[in-house]
């Protein structure tokens, strides 16, 4: 590892030569000829949607994550909405979740006319703090929405017990955590419902898409109906049975995932072990490279967890720097390192401020937000890409260090 640069070395933001000549994004999809051919095969088939590839993808995905059932959706957000519906959330109910997440986690509670209640996060993992959840849980709590921040599983044992004690559901937002493990079990078969995303920056992609994994057959059936207009049967089932009759039994949405997308998902699923291994390798390299930098706090990993590393979020020890997070962020972007920030706390978004106007603060989440920077993390990163990130971070931190 190269020595920490001196403050005399000009950063790109100050006119120096950038570490890279082109921008390295924080995340991106990785597709090959097999993925393309899988999609072409479906385009040349009889079914573009509601066909056999949907069922095949659902079954193989469920088996991979250790669940009895998988129900696909058109996006991770749609899958979250489906889980909130299946849990029975409605007006007068509450769903407890973290403020440090993408807004969809809380929005799905609002979609059902229920109220999101935020609880602060643990200082190490930035996942829901069970002690804070226990302070917020009430007779109105219908579900706890635990987010596996950056791919590190939440405290699923403690949160599960809290939910069970109130007769509520534990819904795990594992959109970051495909392939992660908790206490030796795969994420997907632990919570009452576990939600995954197949956005291009995730561990596998279907373009857009999502899945709810569950061991409960009744929940799975409700989810299937909800994503298909509330209709009790699907087009392929009726065609195979030679029937035309169908009934709408609940108010659902068109949240179906196409056969085109599922074919891509099936091809991508075969690459998941290699993708996970590469992400874990990159995370280990980052952690080792930044271990000696007092101005950086690397992500914590609890003993019972095996993270999936959707993100690699560092926190800046601002007391050791002469500038704030914004200047560090801009300096890294000038070096052509496509850093990002995850996330603006949900309660600080204008929509939530204007409609709910809560004065409550969440000290751990809010402090973390002011320090967080997500470094590039995707499985097709080359060895040179990783070295460029390490060099740029050390260069910028070395320049601004007190």
Predicted confidence (pLDDT) per residue in 292-335, tens digit? 999 999 999 999 999 999 999 999 999 999 999 999 999 999 99
Q: What pLDDT was estimated at residue 243?
A: 83
And the tokens for 129? 């703090």
Tell whether the model's pLDDT for residue 6 goes beyond 70: no
Q: Are 188 and 365 in contact (CB under 8 A)?
A: no
Q: What pLDDT was estimated at residue 358?
A: 84
The radius of gyration computed from the CA coordinates of the chain, to the nearest angstrom, equals 22
Can you tell me the mean pLDDT for 348-370?
Answer: 95
Q: What pLDDT was estimated at residue 272?
A: 98
Residues 351 and 224 in one domain: no
Residue 119 belongs to a domain with what CATH number? Answer: 3.40.640.10
What's the number of domains the chain is made of?
2
Residues 247 and 281 in one domain: no
Can you tell me the mean pLDDT for 342-359?
Answer: 95
> Count H helices, E strands: the chain?
14, 13
Does any domain span residue 208? Answer: yes
Tell whether the model's pLDDT for residue 197 goes beyond 70: yes
20 contacts: CB under 8 Å, gap ≥ 6 = 335, 336, 337, 388, 392
Q: Indicate the DSSP class of residue 19.
A: S
Does any domain span residue 5? Answer: no
Tell whether the model's pLDDT for residue 37 goes beyond 90: yes
Residues 16 and 52 in one domain: no
Does any domain span residue 145? Answer: yes
Q: What pLDDT was estimated at residue 235?
A: 78
Residues 82 and 231 in one domain: yes
Domain boundary among 208, 238, 269: 269
What tens digit of pLDDT does each residue of 167-183 get? 999 999 999 999 999 99
Can you tell me the mean pLDDT for 258-281?
Answer: 98
Tell whether the model's pLDDT for residue 5 goes beyond 80: no
Could you tell me the CA-to-CA distances from 70 to 194, 221, 231 in Å, in that order?
A: 9, 10, 18
Residues 377 and 314 in one domain: yes
Tell whether the model's pLDDT for residue 242 goes beyond 90: no
Tell me which residue range forms the domain holding 129: 33-269
Per mean pLDDT, which range of 6-10, 158-162, 357-361 is the poorest? 6-10
Does any domain span residue 366? Answer: yes
Residues 244 and 283 in one domain: no
Residues 243 and 107 in one domain: yes
Domain boundary among 246, 269, 292: 269
Residues 304 and 157 in one domain: no
Q: What's the chain's length in residues? A: 402
Q: Indicate the DSSP class of residue 169.
A: E
Residues 145 and 160 in one domain: yes
Q: What pLDDT was estimated at residue 80?
A: 98
**Band of the pLDDT at 202, cuts 50, 70, 90?**
very high
Q: What pLDDT was estimated at residue 355?
A: 93
Residues 290 and 262 in one domain: no
Residues 281 and 159 in one domain: no
Q: What pLDDT was estimated at residue 1?
A: 45
Q: What pLDDT was estimated at residue 8?
A: 58
Residue 395 belongs to a domain with what CATH number? Answer: 3.90.1150.10
Does any domain span residue 328? Answer: yes
Could you tell me the CA-to-CA distances from 268 to 48, 203, 214, 343 in Å, in that order?
A: 18, 9, 21, 27
What tens digit of pLDDT does each residue of 88-119 get? 999 999 999 999 999 999 999 999 999 999 99
Domain boundary among 217, 234, 269: 269
**Band of the pLDDT at 273, cuts 50, 70, 90?**
very high
Active site members? 202
CA 71, CA 55: separation in Å to the nearest integer?
A: 9
Can you tell me the mean pLDDT for 218-232?
Answer: 97
Residues 136 and 258 in one domain: yes
């Amino acid at each position: 590892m190269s020595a920490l640069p001196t403050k005399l070395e000009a950063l790109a933001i100050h006119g120096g030569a950038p570490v890279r000549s082109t921008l390295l994004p924080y995340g991106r999809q990785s597709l090959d000829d097999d993925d393309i051919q899988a999609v072409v095969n479906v385009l040349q088939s009889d079914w573009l949607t509601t066909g056999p590839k949907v069922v095949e993808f659902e079954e193989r995905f469920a088996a991979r994550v250790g669940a009895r059932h998988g129900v696909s959706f058109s996006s991770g957000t749609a899958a979250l909405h489906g889980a909130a519906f299946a849990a029975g959330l409605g007006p007068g109910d509450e769903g407890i979740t973290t403020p440090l997440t993408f807004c969809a986690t809380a929005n799905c509670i609002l979609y059902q006319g229920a109220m999101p209640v935020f609880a602060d996060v643990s200082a190490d993992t930035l996942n829901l703090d069970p002690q804070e959840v226990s302070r917020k849980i009430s007779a109105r709590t219908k579900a706890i929405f635990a987010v596996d921040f950056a791919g590190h599983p939440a405290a699923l044992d403690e949160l599960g017990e809290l939910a069970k004690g109130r007769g509520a559901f534990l819904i795990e937002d594992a959109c970051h955590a495909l392939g992660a493990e908790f206490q030796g079990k795969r994420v997907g078969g632990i919570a009452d419902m576990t939600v995954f995303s197949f956005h291009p920056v995730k561990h596998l992609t279907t373009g857009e898409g999502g899945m709810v994994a569950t061991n409960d057959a009744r929940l799975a059936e409700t989810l299937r109906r909800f994503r298909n207009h509330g209709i009790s049967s699907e087009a392929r089932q009726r065609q195979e049975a030679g029937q035309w009759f169908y009934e709408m039994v609940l108010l659902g949405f068109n949240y179906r995932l196409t056969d085109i997308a599922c074919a891509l998902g099936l091809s991508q699923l075969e690459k998941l072990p290699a993708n996970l291994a590469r992400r874990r390798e990159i995370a280990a390299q980052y952690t080792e490279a930044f271990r000696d930098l007092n101005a950086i706090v690397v992500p914590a990993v609890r003993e019972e967890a095996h993270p999936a590393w959707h993100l690699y979020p560092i926190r800046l020890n601002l007391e050791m720097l002469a500038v704030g997070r914004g200047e560090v962020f801009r300096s890294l972007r000038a070096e052509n390192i496509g850093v990002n920030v995850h996330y603006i706390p949900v309660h600080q978004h204008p929509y939530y401020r204007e409609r709910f106007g809560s004065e409550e603060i969440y000290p751990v989440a809010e402090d973390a937000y002011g320090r967080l920077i997500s470094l590039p993390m995707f499985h097709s990163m080359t060895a040179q890409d990783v070295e460029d990130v390490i060099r740029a971070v050390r260069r910028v931190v070395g320049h601004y260090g007190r």
